[in-house]
Amino acid sequence: DAKTTQPTSMDCAEGRAANLPCNHSTISGNEYVYWYRQIHSQGPQYIIHGLKNNETNEMASLIITEDRKSSTLILPHATLRDTAVYYCTFTGNQFYFGTGTSLTVIP
Amino acid sequence: GAGVSQSPSNKVTEKGKDVELRCDPISGHTALYWYRQSLGQGLEFLIYFQGNSAPDKSGLPSDRFSAERTGGSVSTLTIQRTQQEDSAVYLCASSKQGFLGEKLFFGSGTQLSVL
Identity of the residue in A34, A41, A97 whose CB atom sits nearest the CB atom of B43: A97
- Residues B16-42 have a mean pLDDT of 93
- What pLDDT is recorded for position A57? 96
What pLDDT score does A94 carry? 63
Q: Which residues of A touch B42 (CB under 8 A)?
A: 87, 97-100
Residue (of B31, B108, B34, B43) closest to B77 by Cα position: B34
B101·A99 Cβ contact <8 A: no
φ, ψ of residue A17 in degrees (nearest 5):
-80, 135
Is the distance from CB of A60 to CB of A48 less than 8 angstroms?
Answer: yes
Angstroms from B94 CA to nearest CA on chain A: 12
Q: Are A91 and A85 in contact (CB under 8 A)?
A: no
Cα separation, B74 vs B6, in Å, equals 10
B18 phi and psi angles, rounded to 5 deg: -95, 145
Question: What pLDDT is recorded for position A90?
Answer: 84
Distance from CA of A6 to the nearest CA of B (A): 12
For residue B94, the cross-strand partners are: B32, B105
Q: pLDDT digit of tens for each residue in chain A (107 aa)?
A: 558 999 999 999 999 999 999 999 888 888 889 999 999 888 999 999 999 889 999 999 999 999 999 999 999 999 999 999 999 998 766 678 888 999 999 99
**Residues linked to residue B33 through DSSP beta bridges, in sequence order:** B48, B93
State how far residue B59 is from chain A, nearest Cα, in angstroms. Answer: 9
B81 and B13 Cβ atoms separated by less than 8 Å? no
CB A49 within 8 A of CB B100: no
For residue B91, is pLDDT > 70?
yes
